[in-house]
Homo-oligomer: A and B are copies of this chain.
Amino acid sequence: MLQPSKRVQQTKESYIRNILKVIQQPGMLSLAGGLPDASRFPLAMLEQAAIELAKQPSIYQYGATEGLTELREWLLNHQALAEDVIVTSGSQQALDLIARCYLNPGDRVLCETPSYLGALQIFDLAEAQTLAVRSEQDGPDVDDLEKVLASTPIKLFYAVPDFQNPSGRSWSLSKRKAVAELLAKYKVAFVEDAPYRELRFEGESLPTVTELCAGEAFFLGSFSKIATPSLRVGYVMASKDLLGPLKKVKQASDLHSALPMQKMLLSTVSHPDFTRHLEQLTAHYCLRRDALVAALDKHLAHYLDFEIPQGGMFIWCRLKHHQAYQIAAAALEQKVAVVPGDEFWPAKLKVDYQAIRLNFTSLEPKQLEQAVIGLAKVMQQINT
């Protein structure tokens, strides 16, 4: 029997994938996923874009590996963060390409803890060694970051500076500048993953870390949370020198991303109504965040602590008394799904504290409270 490669065997499993069938049971209230609210997809714009497809026979031929020229031009005009851009099959693929392209087995990658599980899986697949920097409410602990950078050669620093998954945290301007300086000093490339950046409910939008970096940086962009995820259109911006080798890996991976999807995405995000759609969407998610915050304050204040995120899709709750896996398993029996915080630590690192991640975008306010009531019951029942 053919055995999976070492790189696959040592790759972290996805908790959500493993409980997917349970989550899909009728009556389940899931705070576990990271799904946008399907009722808020810009359907009228997508419909118009789909109908326009029919008039464009040229998009059915093989395309350029780097993506549709008109989409790439729009991206570079819209957000001039770097010299060049490659369109990818979601920003997930962009990160995978970077890892395959720049990491040799044993190379060290730095991330915050907790960190996005999909990124940890990618670093595992690249057989990299994932190290962590301590995370504070306004960004990484700069002293700790310098200590790590000074003590060992790091190839890439990966982070989500805006409304991170799972912590919901955003980096302050001063932290962004400090990190950019340190990375330049130690010649470490930055990978900025920004899928939630435009889901800001309040406060001022801050410059990307990529803009502030004097050294090398990749900016990963996504439309999954603000338009629709199923088109699988994302991008990576960086210098031409950095993107050149990526194209070679992209070509071997899938030749290029689907052209009709790139065209539909461009029609949608460049539509005059898209700005209004985005305003309405953030207002909608803000209401849901408020509903979850209120429910947590009302029913769970005794059992957990949390910070209120200024945007994004998640509230990260530190458990005062409980073990996260035990809570998650017991909650499933009450038909409430959450993700244990341990999932967001690299496999070989010690989990610093017990936590659960709660998503607030895919349930209605009433359901959010119902789910929190279910969690409260579970926490009361479990003796600590």
Contacts and interface: CB of A to CB of B under 8 A. Distances in A.
Interface in A85-99: 88-90, 92-93, 96
A232 B257 contact: yes
Contact of A89 (B89, B242, B245): B89
Interface residues of A, number: 75
A4 B57 contact: no
A256 interface: yes
A305 to B, nearest CB: 30
A177 B8 CA distance: 32
A308 interface: no
A229 B61 contact: yes
Interface in A13-59: 13-14, 17, 35-36, 38, 41, 43, 46-47, 50-51, 53-54, 57-59
A1 B216 contact: yes
Given A254-B93, A261-B258, A245 B1 contact: no
Contacts of A189: 2
A304 to B, nearest CB: 27
Contacts of A232: 89, 254-258
Which of A46, A104, A252 has most B Cβ within 10 Å? A252
A5 B246 CA distance: 11
B2 A216 contact: yes
Interface in A158-190: 189
Nearest to A121: B252
Nearest to A53: B50
B231 A260 contact: yes
A101 B3 CA distance: 9
Contacts of A53: 47, 50, 53
A216 B2 CA distance: 8
Nearest to A253: B96
B41 A5 contact: no
Contact of A229 (B4, B47, B62, B251): B62
Contact of A41 (B2, B4, B57, B224): B57
A275 B60 CA distance: 19
A249 interface: yes
Contact of A14 (B231, B251, B254): B251
Nearest to A59: B230
B245 A4 contact: yes
A318 interface: no
A102 B229 CA distance: 29
A230 B254 contact: no
Interface in A75-133: 88-90, 92-93, 96, 100-105, 118, 121-122, 125
Given A38-B61, A59-B230, A121-B251, 12 more contacts: A2-B155, A7-B104, A11-B249, A17-B251, A50-B54, A61-B228, A88-B254, A90-B254, A92-B253, A118-B252, A231-B260, A254-B254
23 contacts: A2-B155, A2-B189, A4-B102, A5-B103, A8-B100, A8-B245, A8-B248, A14-B248, A17-B251, A35-B61, A38-B58, A38-B61, A50-B50, A50-B53, A50-B260, A59-B230, A62-B224, A118-B255, A125-B252, A229-B255, A230-B259, A230-B260, A231-B258
Q: Which 3 A-B pairs have the closest CB atoms?
A: A47-B54, A230-B259, A60-B228
Interface of A: 1-8, 11, 13-14, 17, 35-36, 38, 41, 43, 46-47, 50-51, 53-54, 57-63, 65, 88-90, 92-93, 96, 100-105, 118, 121-122, 125, 155-156, 189, 216, 224, 228-233, 241-242, 245, 248-249, 251-261, 264
